[in-house]
Structure 1
Amino acid sequence: MADLKGINLAMQTPFNENGEIEYGVFGELIDKFIDAGVHGLVLGAGTGQHPYLTEAECNRLYELGAKRIDGRCSLICQSSALNMDEVIRRSKHAESIGADAIMVLPPYFEGPSDDDGILRFYSEVNDAVGIDIVGYNIPQATGLSVSPDLFRRLSELSNFNFIKDSGGDFTTHQEYLQISGGVLNGCDTITVYALMAGVPGVIWGSANYMPKEAVELYEHVAAKRLDQGLALWAKMLPSLLYIWRAPYTPSVLKAAQWRGFGTGHVRKPLGPLSASQEKALRATLEHLDA
């Protein structure tokens, strides 16, 4: 079982102004994030605009990423797709280049929505690979909720050892923790409380613009320095609250650019922030830099 404790940064994919991947910047960012102390990197994350990357682009990013990381931190690769054969193909490729785990969305967009159908889907992925599977609960994006009962059934699969929970329902989050210790928080705005509740780690998009602070927060909670952790959290929270309600990925990437991480560009169909959105985002970041 992979060790995914700590800050698993849901890494951006850097683009130029034309939406082309900047592979050189990608490698430089990996070094910066590892130097900041992150415990893992998630390549092809939602923050990395996975839905708008081709399979070939993902494969190249993962290959380059695995070589650049070179065992310095954990490596999780998203292998989600709508087509079952493609999910298996992507998952096997991630395993072949040395990923510690794959992250796989349930069969969203008119796929099976019942528990048995979702279980069959993950069972097929489970039988195709020999590395850990990180399931993904993000009902606001997929329309599918992984209930605690379904999570219990999924946890019986040999490789389904983790779930990223981005739903934001802290009750469900704690119910998951009663079933398995492999719960990774993915909802930015409850991060400190999820860590206090006992999650071993997080998959965190906003860590793209505050990697050192994210690691520091984790270390404070792990060491039971809760007063210090909550003081840091108070500086982080204004930007997290804004980004969670604003266009998420464009906000994270713009904040990251301002703080020295990446190009700030998104790929279509995503678009840049408006001037008023940029102004509001900058105001929230003042708390972080205070």
Structure 2
Amino acid sequence: MAVLAGRQRNLKELHMANLAGINLAMQTPFRADGSIDFAEWDRLIDAYIDAGIHGLVLGAGTGQHPYLTEAEANELYEKGIKRVGGRCNVICQTSALNMDEVVRRSRHAESIGADALMILPPYLEGPDDDDGIFEFYRTIDAAVGVDIVGYNIPQATGLSVSPELLKRLSQLENYNYIKDSGGDLSVHQAYLQTDCKVLNGADPTTVYAMMAGTVGTIWGAANYMPHEAVRLYDLVTAKEYDAALELWGKMLPSLLYVWSHRYVQCVLAAAQHRGFGHGYVRAPLQQISDEMRAEMLATLAPLS
């Protein structure tokens, strides 16, 4: 039985996308009036790829996915995948509250060439038991033929993916990755004991998760420090831990700030300050105060 299980895992891995490295949870560049600036979208894609990132997550939380219509998300993904042109991996978020919409969004993203789909569990009064969450992902798994990146972010969804549930989910054909934004290194390390590949999503634990064996990140703060994020990954991969921790010390002040304040707004303010995007959010989000912006930008000083 153990030999058979090993063979099944090996066969499964042959068909998996390789999402190792820095997968940048890409911002959606809005103008002041809330419209999408597609020219800036193209420029940012090129800039991030030139910085060496390994993958782009389109429609990420940092990309304000909840405030994009389905049509807007589809257009972003179509144009984004075309612009990337195979130069890096592309993960598309296809989360939605309606089950049919999740499947429809997922099939569309797959049809235009997404390497993987990032999908939140059924949040907002959906099933919160393990069987219900498993059935949700089983339905999506049966509808697509591309990797699914599950998502553990209990502070936003109210749902926690337990290590036991992750073991079950990893037996599905396409559920091959999980983004862990919970920030609990004990849970993260338990995830690493399963057959599912783990991507860190909690900014303040990034370097430690990398050292523990996570295959990579889905990282919002990489919007304002893509070069540093790639360098950190390269140093840890090379086991140059002293140099990695030295770099981490320069990154940490801003990471602690964005993580404990208004994440999206702070990341976008930092990105705009460093030449990546316009810094605007779309309603119902509000721009941060001048005071908070000044505090945020002060934390970037070690990166200069």
Aligned residue among 252, 265, 268 for 2:283: 268
What secondary structure is seen at the aligned counterpart in 1 of 2:179? strand
Distance 1:53 1:184 in 2: 24
Query: What aligned pairs does 1:104-253 form with structure 2 within 5 A after superposition?
Result: 104-180=119-195, 182-253=197-268
Partner of 2:116: 101
Q: CA RMSD in A?
A: 0.5
Give identity over the alignment, percent.
Answer: 66
1:42–1:76 contact (8 Å) kept in structure 2:
yes
Shift of 1:180: 2.6
Distance 2:123 2:296 in 1: 31
Gaps in structure 1 of 5+ consecutive residues = none
Partner of 2:6: none
What residue identity is the alignment partner of 2:243? Answer: Q
Distance 1:277 1:204 in 2: 22
TM-score by length of 2: 0.95
What secondary structure is seen at the aligned counterpart in 1 of 2:101? helix
Partner of 1:254: 269
What residue identity is the alignment partner of 1:144? Answer: L
Distance 1:181 1:59 in 2: 28
Partner of 1:51: 66
What residue identity is the alignment partner of 1:93? Answer: H
Distance 2:128 2:303 in 1: 40
Partner of 2:53: 38
1:79–1:90 contact (8 Å) kept in structure 2:
yes
Aligned residue among 36, 42, 45 for 1:21: 36
What residue identity is the alignment partner of 2:227? Answer: K
What secondary structure is seen at the aligned counterpart in 2 of 1:42? strand
Shift of 1:279: 1.3
- Asked if residue 9 in structure 1 is aligned to residue 20 in structure 2, the reply is no
1:181–1:200 contact (8 Å) kept in structure 2:
no
Distance 2:204 2:79 in 1: 31
Deviating 4+ runs (over 2 angstroms): none
Distance 1:181 1:255 in 2: 33
What residue identity is the alignment partner of 2:64? Answer: Q
**CA displacement, residues 205-254 of structure 1 (integer Å, 9 cap, x when unaligned):** 00000000000000000001111100000000000000001100000001
Distance 1:88 1:94 in 2: 10
1:181–1:199 contact (8 Å) kept in structure 2:
no
Distance 1:202 1:102 in 2: 15
TM-score by length of 1: 0.99
Shift of 1:112: 0.3
What secondary structure is seen at the aligned counterpart in 1 of 2:276? coil
Aligned residue among 274, 279, 282 for 2:294: 279
Distance 2:68 2:240 in 1: 40
2:167–2:196 contact (8 Å) kept in structure 1:
no
Distance 2:194 2:135 in 1: 20
**CA displacement, residues 28-78 of structure 1 (integer Å, 9 cap, x when unaligned):** 100000000000000000000000000000000000000000100000000
2:166–2:196 contact (8 Å) kept in structure 1:
no
